């Protein structure tokens, strides 16, 4: 995502030179790895399937809120990756594919399950009912 100074935005808009930004973002739960060189990332609402992500390819981490997971909490974040010219272009391709797949999965999940858009104190959330360890629970999976 590119941020423009207002005058630059107006100039680029008028001359049709606004480039379509790559959306190199993913959202999910994180925790710090033991080596301090990685964040552990998951989209699982039950603290499973942690994937190490090198902090060297991350541009920013936006803390959206804390999420309760079993008997503890994890930050729910939006990770923005560095642009393709700052990381390997082949890696950027896979990050883009993962980002698109996550958005498509969220849309499919919303369409196929009993989910609702909830306007809460922290913003707009998508909350769904799911069976977790044999119990029906409400899981909020995102903030807009």
3-state secondary structure of 25: strand
More confident residue, 33 or 119: 33
Q: Can you give the pLDDT at residue 22?
A: 59
Which of 69-83, 102-116, 117-131 ranks highest by mean pLDDT? 69-83
Q: Can you give the pLDDT at residue 125?
A: 76
Q: What is the pLDDT of residues 78-96, one digit of tens each?
A: 888 887 665 666 676 677 6
Q: Can you give the pLDDT at residue 37?
A: 92
101's tokens: 């797949």
- Is the pLDDT at 61 greater than 90? The verdict is yes
State the Cα angle at 95 between 5 and 36, rounded to 5°. 90
Q: Can you give the pLDDT at residue 34?
A: 92
């Amino acid at each position: 995502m590119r941020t423009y100074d207002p005058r630059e935005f107006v100039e680029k808009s008028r001359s049709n030179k606004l480039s379509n930004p790559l959306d190199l973002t993913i959202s999910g739960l994180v925790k710090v790895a033991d080596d301090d060189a990685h964040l552990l990332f998951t989209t699982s609402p039950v603290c499973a399937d942690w994937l190490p992500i090198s902090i060297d390819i991350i541009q920013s981490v936006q803390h959206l809120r804390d999420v309760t997971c079993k008997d503890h909490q994890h930050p729910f974040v939006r990770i923005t990756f560095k642009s393709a010219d700052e990381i390997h272009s082949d890696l950027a391709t896979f990050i883009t594919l993962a980002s698109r797949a996550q958005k498509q999965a969220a849309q499919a999940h919303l369409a196929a399950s009993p989910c609702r858009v909830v306007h809460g104190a922290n913003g707009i959330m998508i909350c769904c009912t799911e069976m977790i360890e044999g119990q029906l629970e409400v899981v909020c999976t995102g903030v807009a």
